[in-house]
Homo-oligomer: A and B are copies of this chain.
């Protein structure tokens, strides 16, 4: 069985939709946020906590797992799910984004991208075929085709080249599939150029992928250009396949994209910001470094029922953060991920009721950014 996507409800006033993504391993509801588990762990939380928060799919990074501990080692230990103690779905990226953003001495050709590891400088060559092989070896459920992701700003010529190469690599990625299970998603590039985005959509969406992603965003373009790109690109993607906006974003960014018909998201913001002492709440951001929280006995978010908000005050979390205590990151990560999960849950409910626009307006009005 390959990946299935079922739309269960459509909003009345916007292109937002609520659905279910299903593989042989299980299913999860969309719109969905996927926490990032770079090195086979979502930093600071136990797998059981992710389940309790309602997450049905998390993300693993091919680039990192390929370098350490190595995909063959992970297979030998029973695959990525067993390795990290997570029995729900896993999406792996292709490794491309990290190769283009983290590695050194990068050299790209139509054949492959060669690079040196950011860890030890060792030389590696990533091809579309290898990216598929690594992901199949890890045993992820949703796999991404290798794309060429270009940072902003970039010359038109550079983006044009990336669009062309991304299509070439998408075709090779599909041909490289060996396993019949799970699903593969193609990635649309095109930078901030409307016509190149359209060209990439036309080329990528003509291919038999199980889903389609908007790539080449969250690369330094800023909120306005990003939203323009989402607004322009999302409606062009096939309506009957899941749409994935890669590497985005704040709660407000998610709501904005859901309203344009996007189904899937991943981002390091809720987990990374938690480690920096920042929490997303229904009344806006709480940054515990601020001295105003020294004696604040309130929970981070009075409208949240997560273990952190049930147990700890802002003053305590500030104390932990200032002392560099692990529980600071742990507790704020649980809060932020609960906040994201609950936001997507409420988005699904609003879509089912047919009033997502109203829900979004209220959420943004209450302070969600």
Q: Which of A133-141, A249-257, A320-328 contacts B (4 or more CB under 8 A)?
A: A320-328
Please count how many residues in chain A sit with their CB below 8 Å of the partner chain's CB atoms: 37
B46 touches A76 (CB 8 A): no
B77 touches A297 (CB 8 A): yes
- Bound complex: CA of A312 vs CA of B83, how far in Å? 7
Chain B residues, CB < 8 A from A41: 320, 325-327
CB < 8 Å neighbour of A319 from B39, B76, B315, B325 = B39
Contact bitstring A78-99, B, C-beta under 8 A = 1, else 0: 1000011100000000000000
A313 touches B43 (CB 8 A): no
B43 touches A322 (CB 8 A): no
CB < 8 Å neighbour of A40 from B84, B85, B316, B331 = B316
B319 touches A330 (CB 8 A): no
A326 touches B329 (CB 8 A): yes
Cβ of A247 under 8 Å from chain B? no
- Bound complex: CA of A312 vs CA of B323, how far in Å? 29
* Residue of B whose beta carbon sits closest to that of A83: B316
- Bound complex: CA of A68 vs CA of B44, how far in Å? 24
B307 touches A68 (CB 8 A): no
Contact bitstring A128-168, B, C-beta under 8 A = 1, else 0: 00000000000000000000000000000000000000000
A326 touches B330 (CB 8 A): yes
- Bound complex: CA of A83 vs CA of B327, how far in Å? 13
- Bound complex: CA of A259 vs CA of B269, how far in Å? 52
Cβ of A69 under 8 Å from chain B? yes
Chain B residues, CB < 8 A from A311: 46-48, 85
Cβ of A4 under 8 Å from chain B? no
B315 touches A77 (CB 8 A): yes
Chain B residues, CB < 8 A from A315: 69, 73, 77, 83
Chain B residues, CB < 8 A from A39: 319-320, 323, 325
Chain B residues, CB < 8 A from A320: 39-41
Chain B residues, CB < 8 A from A68: 319, 322-323
Cβ of A240 under 8 Å from chain B? no
Task: List residues of A (29-88) whose CB comes within 8 Å of B's CBs.
Answer: 39-41, 43-48, 68-69, 73, 76-78, 83-85
Given A47-B311, A68-B319, A316-B84: A295 touches B73 (CB 8 Å cut-off): yes
Cβ of A294 under 8 Å from chain B? yes
Interface-centre pick from A48, A68, A83, A322 (highest chain B CB count, 10 A): A83
- Bound complex: CA of A330 vs CA of B307, how far in Å? 17
Chain B residues, CB < 8 A from A84: 316
A327 touches B46 (CB 8 A): yes
Chain B residues, CB < 8 A from A295: 73, 76-77
CB < 8 Å neighbour of A313 from B44, B77, B327 = B77
What are 27 residue pairs bridging A and B, where the CB atoms are less than 8 Å apart in the complex? Answer: A39-B323, A39-B325, A40-B319, A40-B320, A41-B320, A41-B325, A41-B327, A43-B325, A43-B327, A44-B326, A46-B307, A46-B327, A46-B331, A47-B311, A69-B315, A76-B295, A77-B297, A77-B313, A77-B315, A83-B313, A83-B315, A83-B316, A84-B316, A85-B312, A85-B316, A326-B329, A330-B330
